[in-house]
Amino acid sequence: MSYNKWTREEEQLLIQNVRYDHRGFVCNCNELAELLGIDKKRIWPKIHQMRKKDLIDEVYWDDPIEPPNKRYSQQEDKKIISMYQSGCPVTIIAQELNRTENAIRCRLNIMKKNGQLESNRKRRYTKREVELLISEIKFDKNGYVLNIDYLTRLLHRPKHELFRKICLLRKQGEITIKPDRTKASQNWYDVMKKQIDNHHKLIAARYSYQKKTRTPASRIVS
């Protein structure tokens, strides 16, 4: 893939393989980056661009059950700072606060800009860490990383850092197994089932909410 231009085939690959959580946020950005062989930072601008063109689903901003822009409480901010400084991966912080990983990263960036938090996470991989990563990493039959959550807990690093390191190790020949881009990750099948279940729950919640708030025709004054 060229750095600035996406081909039609690459766009179709993204559209076919993108997965959403129950609010419409893209939840498999790491897998998409691995599938397309690019840095994850290039995925988000493309998703934003494609949403503007109605090529992929929009975020459901008016969700009455769980609004995406729920404010952070002081207690949540303290927990984020404490977990981040202790070395917890973003994925664990997101699970603990019931937020998306992207939402936590955005909050961390705001905290750093406001001076609430100093970045202490940019550390180099030690020889032992690289050896541990290579020895513990598992792949599915199509060459995709199968145990990324385990690796984040083992090495105390966020997913995006690990995927970047795995990509580098592949280029260096330290990891020889590469993903088959014509096929999907095994993890996606589990994610897909979960997304379908969440989608049905959201539809039911929307219908229930609309039914409760809908004004009966008999009450409408002409």
177-188 b/e with 16+ CB inside 10 Å = b?
eebebeebbebb
pLDDT recorded at residue 141: 85
Q: Are 97 and 80 in contact (CB under 8 A)?
A: yes
Candidates 161, 167, 160, 159; CA nearest to 143 is 167
Above 90 in pLDDT, residue 112? no
Above 80 in pLDDT, residue 7? yes
Q: Are 1 and 7 in contact (CB under 8 A)?
A: yes
pLDDT recorded at residue 161: 83
- Give the pLDDT confidence of 173-216 residue by residue, as tens digits: 999 998 877 776 655 556 566 666 666 666 776 666 666 666 55
Above 50 in pLDDT, residue 222? no
What 3-state class would DSSP assign to 66?
coil
Half-sphere exposure of 195 (CA within 13 A, CB side): 17
CA-CA distance, 80 to 119, in Å (whole number)? 13
Above 70 in pLDDT, residue 76? yes
Average pLDDT of every residue of the chain: 78
pLDDT recorded at residue 2: 44
Above 60 in pLDDT, residue 166? yes
Above 60 in pLDDT, residue 221? no
